[in-house]
Chain A
Amino acid sequence: MTKEKIQLEAQRTALSYQTRRHFLGKCRTGMGMMAMGSVLDSCNLFSGNNADGSLVSNPLSPRAPHFQGKAKSVIFLHMAGAPSQLEMFDYKPELQKMDGLDCPDSFIQGKKFAFIRGVPKLLGPQASFKQYGQSGLWLSDNLPHFQQVIDDVTILKAVNTDQFNHAPAQLLMHCGTPRLGRPSMGSWVTYGLGSENSNLPGFVVLTSGGRNPDAGKSIWGSGFLPSVYQGVQCRSEGDPVLFLEDPNGFDRDMRKASIEAINNVNELSYNEYKDPEILARISQYEMAFKMQIAVPDVMSIADEPAYIHEMYGTKPGEESFANNVLLARKLVEKGVRFVQLFDWGWDSHGTGEDTALDKGFIGKCLQTDKAVSALLLDLKQRGLLEETLVVWGGEFGRTPMQENRDGKQNSFKGRDHHSEAFSMWMAGGGIKAGFSYGETDPIGYNAIEGKVSVYDVQATILKQLGFDHEQLTYQFQGRPFRLTDVFGKPIDPIIA
């Protein structure tokens, strides 16, 4: 397109704003929109916890929380597919004795399972357990390294969810609702606290295990929050962020000039339309420019000393959970607010060797155990665990019964999805060290003490970051929304 043509078009567009047709059209819809605007008020950014109104300049500049939070950042290790608590943390010797017996009617009456039909058989723990550390917490031999850090964690043994399928349960865990459309926890946290390092995204997502979690990218989406708060997925293999490199023959100064020009135009349109998404776009362009330098630096683990690689079990250049864990430490060290890891492959139904509790599942445990343990130790020794809250868990747990898909016993030892009670753990960021909270019944089916919901876990995470989960809200469609919907309360007994 030639220069004259562009100029002509610009002139025409400008003139069209001064026509009678435009004026009358605006009169008709404009009045209605003004009325609507006052009703909806949905562009009122940060009405929930504004305080200063400094957002127009930079949506990621840090903001004051409700109270001084002990944690400044979060590493959430999500084992997508839901690992079996009965082979890791929740030791049930009674279940071993009842191995192979029919599951009592009282447990299955009126219950719905993803795959179990009819009367399943109980399945004893497929691992041996021992007590470790000063705290004497029980751990299975599937986690040989974790015993060295057991005195730094709080295990929640009776987490309860109301979803028994992966995608909705993952959505509930991260967005506070089993349905699509709400912002994820990392988005809420970066919305609430901003970022400490303007050269890096505030919310980074790393995935491993060969597949993304079932709920898709919406579990790190920003929902109705401005999209600047959505999780930035980085790859541990190849370019960490795609399309970040300058093209050939395009140097950094020219890139800078072009971004500045685009941002100037965007600022003009912001002044005209006041759409917060334009601000988000401006800061994303700026961040992308800074990230070109900062991200390749922080996302490279090649420079780490040999003993770190040995400790985490990392190999530079491959896509692995261990590499992601090490990256998580590096990101938190550089001031990233929320690092979300997903590791796929924990759905141990026992339909094949890779999902068998005595085969593939052990492999998954051993793949992750060393890196996770190394992470806690490394964070602690670098003085990062004080301010970093590490959360580990799946989206639900697994049944004490062996899965009998469609009424027939599965060929390998596996367990079905279980929502009544499962285990998670938290460490650092002001959480008690070497502590266990909650208890399940002798076969590990129901929570009998210290039952907490997914909302309670979310409320606790927010509390450690300095938020009253009921006050961190965002005005949307005429009402304030929050991560925990109308539920949840912080699990105070586990807070140090």
Chain B
Amino acid sequence: MNLIELIGRFHPVLVHLPIGIFVLVIVMDGLTRFDKFTYLSASIRLILGIGILSAILSLVTGYTLSLEGINNQDLVDNHQWTAIGTTALFTIYYFLRQKLMAKRLAHTYTLLLLLVMLAWTGHQGGSLTHGEGFLTEGTLDAKTITAAPLDIKDINQALVYKDLVQYTLNQKCVQCHGSKKQKGKLRLDDLSWIKAGGKNGNLINTTDPSDGELIKRILLDDIDEHHMPPKEKTQLTDAELVIFQWWINAGASFDKSVAALSPDAKVIKALASFKAENQIQEKTIVKTREPIDKLDEQIKKRLEKMGWVVSTISLDDNHIRLIGYNIEGTINDALVAAAEISEHVIELKLSFSALKDNDLKNLNQFINLEKLWLDHTDISDNALKQVTALNNLGYLNIVNTKTTAGGVKNLMNLPNLKMIYLQGIKITTDERLALESIKTNANLYFGDSMKSVITDTIFVKKAE
């Protein structure tokens, strides 16, 4: 950075001097109307003079800053001329103040005019640094940029630039390269800006398409610091990358339709998934769990002492997966103790334990259970009766138990049950058919063996 640029960079600091001083002048000047404050009149000339000096200083630094070049040249020009105008007005006021004081009404209007000019100049400056619309963001215009789902009926008639490229830019780029912010002095919210390019030059290279800044940035490996969008932001999908490459290689025209750019098979595939990704999709209702408080450490320690393995679902979800491979003492005692946290437990694993039917008497207290393993134990149909109370249960594993088809049948009414694993249970073919004919959401896994292929012949045949 050279010295001129350095001076320019002081502009954002210096401008606050004239703004503050001029406001002070206007307030003081207004107050001199009241007898109590007439004494202020003597100071105003001096303060106004200092204010004008600082304003000139701001103009100089502002001009040098504008030499650096900024993408929003119109706004800069406007800001420059209103600033010069405002400074000029204050200077004129400096000389004409004595005369104006005599005419009260003219004086009042002059002060108001000065205030408006000052505010307008300041606002323009603010828009340059913070982005247009910063002031009213979230209050006046609640429009956000990412909303609209894609509305294309026939993808072949869609305009490549307007409906696909600009659509994607609006979704994923204009937050930082748009009207509010212009990182790298680049705007992507309209084709005139896109043609203009940014700090690092042209976005699209017409002679060598693969060398354009836009395509290079989006294709860079995402660990590269020049990769766009930045790593922590939403990335372009594979389909979008294909479409961008195709559009740019085909000359980056701003008015052609999809059909006019003759997409190849790869692009057609990408177009289809682009459409699918962006169209309004029927929202699948994801059942979320009620949040629950963190498990008390003392209770956790107590359960662990009994041999339970107490596993928290995740850092954001305090529900518990409770595992009982190594329970010391009877399962009954362990389950009675665990009932204290019954609402926490959503997964309960009693596989390979010394579980008996009677141990499960309080199973119905575990109302939030989603997954239950009772496999490789001696339980019978009596135990399954306790399971019928678990309305949230989605997964049940009773592999290698003494349960029968009759007990399993009672479970079929459970509203959320998706999977029952039954391998190793004595079920006749007729019983199996009967179970399979029941209308239910649950998938039954009876445990079919694998078809064995005699492989010796393959080897011999090939070796010959």
Contacts and interface: CB of A to CB of B under 8 A. Distances in A.
A198 B317 CA distance: 24
A68 B321 CA distance: 11
B447 interface: yes
A382 B375 contact: yes
Given A68-B313, A377-B450, A383-B419, A487 B223 contact: yes
A457 to B, nearest CB: 16
A370 B325 CA distance: 30
Interface in B412-464: 419, 421, 423, 445-453, 455, 458-459, 462-463
Interface in A23-56: 51-52
A214 interface: no
B384 interface: no
Contacts of A63: 311-312
B213 interface: no
Nearest to B455: A366
Given A335-B325, A383-B395, A148 B451 contact: yes
Contacts of B297: 52
B309 A61 contact: yes
A377 B452 CA distance: 12
B114 interface: no
Interface stretch (A161-169, A266-274, A357-365, A419-427): A357-365
Contacts of B316: 67
B450 A374 contact: yes
Contacts of B451: 145, 148
Contacts of A377: 448, 450
B351 interface: yes
A366 B315 contact: no
B325 A307 contact: no
Contact of B311 (A62, A141, A145, A383): A62
B375 A198 contact: no
Interface in A268-299: 290
Given A62-B311, A381-B448, A486-B223, A386 B458 contact: no
A245 interface: no
Contacts of A355: none
Contacts of A466: 314
A99 interface: no
Contacts of B455: 144, 366, 369-370
A64 interface: yes
A404 interface: no
Nearest to A359: B463
A225 B143 CA distance: 50
Given A144-B453, A369-B455, A383-B397, A358 B421 contact: no
A63 B320 CA distance: 11
Contacts of A51: 315
Contact of B351 (A148, A333, A381): A333
Given A381-B448, A489-B222, A199 B315 contact: no
A256 to B, nearest CB: 14
B323 interface: yes
A370 B452 contact: yes
A65 interface: yes
B314 A381 contact: no
Given A366-B459, A383-B395, A64 B447 contact: no
B425 to A, nearest CB: 12
B379 interface: no
Interface in A331-354: 333-335
Majority SS at the chain A contact face = loop
A51 B316 CA distance: 11
Given A66-B315, A381-B447, A197 B399 contact: no
Contact of A196 (B313, B325, B447, B448): B325
B326 interface: yes
A493 B277 CA distance: 13
A373 interface: yes
Interface residues of B, number: 43
Contact of A64 (B313, B325, B326, B458): B313
Given A144-B453, A334-B352, A64 B314 contact: yes
A310 interface: yes
Interface string B221-245: 0110000000000000010000000
A67 B423 CA distance: 31
Interface in B349-402: 349, 351-352, 373, 375, 395, 397, 399
Interface in B255-279: none
B167 to A, nearest CB: 22
B310 interface: yes
Nearest to B325: A197
Interface string B318-343: 00010101100000000000000000
B352 A382 contact: no
A495 interface: no
B343 to A, nearest CB: 17
Contact of A68 (B238, B317, B351, B452): B317
B304 interface: yes
Interface in A42-95: 51-52, 61-69
Interface string B284-319: 000000000000010000001000011111111100
Interface string A121-162: 000000000000000000001101100100000000000000
Contact of B421 (A144, A311, A382, A487): A382
A63 B321 CA distance: 11
A432 interface: no
A443 B451 CA distance: 33
B462 to A, nearest CB: 6
A91 B216 CA distance: 33
A380 interface: yes
Given A363-B459, A386-B395, A62 B314 contact: no
B80 to A, nearest CB: 45
Given A369-B455, A486-B223, A489-B222, A67 B314 contact: yes
Nearest to A366: B455
A496 B463 CA distance: 40
Nearest to A51: B315
A362 B325 contact: no
Contacts of A196: 309, 311, 323, 325, 349
Nearest to A69: B314
Contact of B323 (A65, A335, A369): A335
B397 A382 contact: yes
B407 to A, nearest CB: 17
Nearest to A356: B463
A493 B450 CA distance: 30
A380 B447 CA distance: 9
Interface string B67-83: 00000000000000000
Interface in A385-402: 386
A362 B314 contact: no
A310 B452 CA distance: 8
A380 B445 contact: yes
Contacts of B323: 62, 196-197, 335
B458 A144 contact: yes
Nearest to B316: A67
Interface of B: 222-223, 238, 297, 304, 309-317, 321, 323, 325-326, 349, 351-352, 373, 375, 395, 397, 399, 419, 421, 423, 445-453, 455, 458-459, 462-463
27 contacts: A51-B315, A61-B304, A62-B310, A62-B312, A66-B315, A67-B317, A69-B314, A144-B458, A145-B450, A148-B451, A195-B309, A197-B309, A197-B323, A198-B309, A333-B352, A334-B325, A335-B325, A370-B452, A370-B453, A370-B455, A373-B450, A377-B450, A381-B421, A381-B446, A383-B395, A383-B419, A493-B238
Lowest 4 CB-CB distances: which A-B pairs, in order? A383-B421, A62-B311, A64-B312, A144-B453
Given A64-B315, A199-B325, 7 more contacts: A64-B314, A68-B313, A307-B449, A311-B449, A334-B352, A366-B458, A383-B395
